[in-house]
Amino acid sequence: MLRTRFTEEFGIEHPIVCGGMTAVGTAELISAVANAGALGFLTALTQSTPAALAEEIARCRSMTDRTFGVNLTILPTIDPVPYDEYRDAIIDSGITVVETAGANPAAHVAAFKAAGVKVIHKAVAVRHAMKAQSLGVDAVSIDGFECAGHPGSDDVPGLVLIPSAAQKVDVPLIASGGFATGRGLVAALALGASAINMGTRFVASAEAPVHGNVKQQIVANDERSTVLVFRELGNTARVARNTVSEEIARRGAEPGATFSDVAGLASGARARQRVLTDGDVEGGMWWASQAQGLISSVETCAQIVTDIMNEAAEAIGHLDVARAPLNSTTKGCPNTP
Ligand SMILES: Cc1cc2nc3c(=O)[nH]c(=O)nc-3n(C[C@H](O)[C@H](O)[C@H](O)COP(=O)(O)O)c2cc1C
């Protein structure tokens, strides 16, 4: 049992979060994360309308009596998204915690706060974390360069990004990107965070609503099995390495390339059907992080959380052992000749 500012202020048993994941963050996964004592986020825009989101929230609530939240990802889209209506569906459904991501959450924070909803904003840069804090968010998730999804364009890994954010932000900090183990959790706490956020580790869970081939591919992959795409298009994204993502990266790097040169290959609808549903891991672009190198089996969410907490306790125990000889030298080390 680890008590941190996150567990205390959010009322969650373990300092572990499952971030929003388009097409993956549905009631099956998020209720399992909640039942495991962690905090998971349904992904609002996975549901085609605000009414469908309200139904998904109700479905998740029928599968767990523990706290879960909703992720609202604000990204530039070709078709306008009714963000305000999604936000109202979240509030009206009695959700108590949201994860905002993708852009400045200013337009939504005041409404959430007025309704008593806690806001965790996911940022990829210290300056964005500070901005979110100034808007009144309750916690900041800071996503290092290792992460799946959109790591931004500064390329700062967690080892520097997390303690740097911890120096500048007073609200609880959640370390994200590349976490999958108890050792990682202990490292995150040492760097100044009070929880870890994971995406890829929970995709390789029994309850994630994706084809088993994807989960097994994550297990087979290693830390080099990602590609950065959309770099030159100003919207860097880290995805699993396959022939499709390598081709997207190649086309995107050509002089004068635009999004239309890669849109067909990068289509979310294509990946949802061919990869996540049919299980063809070479069939489209799908999201995964460098954490793949740390994942060696598909487990239930309960087992994932238990293993991380046990490994964290063991790692903290090892820190105690490492401290003992240091203390004993002050009294005269028995091994000293
Ligand atoms: C399949 C997948 C889909 C994701 N979709 C979203 C999303 O829609 N919105 C969002 O804010 N983050 C999204 N993310 C990022 C995760 O919430 C989380 O920040 C990230 O996975 C952390 O890095 P990790 O994969 O190394 O644990 C996604 C990640 C994955 C693996």
- Measured distance CA(291)–CA(299) in Å, rounded: 15
- Ligand 1 near 101 CB (within 6 A): yes
The pLDDT value given to residue 331: 46
Say yes or no: 62 and 170 in one domain. Answer: yes
Say yes or no: 84 and 189 in one domain. Answer: yes
- Ligand 1 near 221 CB (within 6 A): no
The pLDDT value given to residue 1: 86
Q: 336 in a domain, yes or no?
A: no
Say yes or no: 169 and 244 in one domain. Answer: no
Phi then psi for 333, rounded to 5 degrees? -75, 130
Q: Where in the sequence is the domain holding 161, given as residue range(s)?
A: 5-209
Report CA(260)–ligand 1 centroid distance (Å): 24
- Measured distance CA(173)–CA(180) in Å, rounded: 17
Q: 305 in a domain, yes or no?
A: no
Q: Which residue among 287, 302, 322 closes a domain? A: 287
Say yes or no: 139 and 99 in one domain. Answer: yes
Determine the number of helices (DSSP H) and then strands (DSSP E) in the chain: 14, 10
- For the chain, the 3-state helix, strand and coil shares in percent, each to the nearest 5, are 45, 15, 40
Q: Which residue among 163, 181, 209 closes a domain? A: 209
- Measured distance CA(306)–CA(52) in Å, rounded: 32
Residue 106: strand pairing partners: none
- Ligand 1 near 71 CB (within 6 A): yes
Q: 333 in a domain, yes or no?
A: no
The pLDDT value given to residue 330: 45
Say yes or no: 231 and 194 in one domain. Answer: no
- Ligand 1 near 179 CB (within 6 A): yes
Using the Cα atoms of residue 205, residue 206, residue 207 and residue 208 in order, give the sign of their dihedral: positive
Which pTM does this prediction carry? Answer: 0.95
Structure tokens at 297: 């089996």
Say yes or no: 137 and 78 in one domain. Answer: yes
Say yes or no: 241 and 185 in one domain. Answer: no
Q: 215 in a domain, yes or no?
A: no
Q: Which atom of ligand 1 is nearest to the CA of 22?
A: 8
Q: How far, in Å, are 108, 129, 131, 261 from residue 103 at the CA level?
A: 11, 11, 11, 24
Say yes or no: 75 and 200 in one domain. Answer: yes
Q: 64 in a domain, yes or no?
A: yes
Say yes or no: 194 and 247 in one domain. Answer: no
- Ligand 1 near 287 CB (within 6 A): yes
Say yes or no: 104 and 187 in one domain. Answer: yes
H-helix or E-strand spanning residue 303: helix 301-331
277 close to 211: Cβ distance less than 8 angstroms: yes
Structure tokens at 254: 């050509």
Q: 161 in a domain, yes or no?
A: yes
Q: How far, in Å, are 87, 122, 268, 334 from residue 64 at the CA level?
A: 22, 25, 29, 55
Provide the Cα torsion 291, 126, 14, 73; round to 10°. -80
Q: Which residue among 251, 267, 287 closes a domain? A: 287
Q: Which amino acid is at 192?
A: G
The pLDDT value given to residue 326: 60
Q: Which amino acid is at 157?
A: P
Q: 310 in a domain, yes or no?
A: no
Q: Which atom of ligand 1 is nearest to the CA of 102?
A: 11
Q: What is the CATH number of the domain that holds 36?
A: 3.20.20.70
Count the domains in the chain.
2
- Ligand 1 near 69 CB (within 6 A): no
- Ligand 1 near 56 CB (within 6 A): no
Residue with tokens 């499709």: 244
Q: Over its length of 337 residues, how does the chain's per-residue pLDDT go in tens digits?
A: 899 999 999 999 999 999 999 999 999 999 999 999 999 999 999 999 999 999 999 999 999 999 999 999 998 777 889 999 999 999 999 999 999 999 999 999 999 999 999 999 999 999 999 999 999 999 999 999 999 999 999 999 999 999 999 999 999 999 999 999 999 999 999 999 999 999 999 999 999 999 999 999 999 999 999 999 999 999 999 999 999 999 999 999 999 999 999 999 999 999 999 999 999 999 999 999 999 999 999 999 999 999 999 999 999 998 877 767 665 554 444 444 4
The pLDDT value given to residue 316: 94
Residue with tokens 């080099």: 224
Q: Using CA positions, which residue lies closest to atom 13 of ligand 1?
A: 21
- Measured distance CA(48)–CA(12) in Å, rounded: 29
A 10 A CB-CB count for 191 gives 19
Say yes or no: 13 and 83 in one domain. Answer: yes
- Measured distance CA(109)–CA(14) in Å, rounded: 25
Q: 195 in a domain, yes or no?
A: yes
Say yes or no: 231 and 169 in one domain. Answer: no
- For helices 158-168 and 126-135, the axis angle rounded to 10 degrees is 30
The pLDDT value given to residue 318: 87
Give the total residue count for the chain. 337
- Measured distance CA(73)–CA(132) in Å, rounded: 14
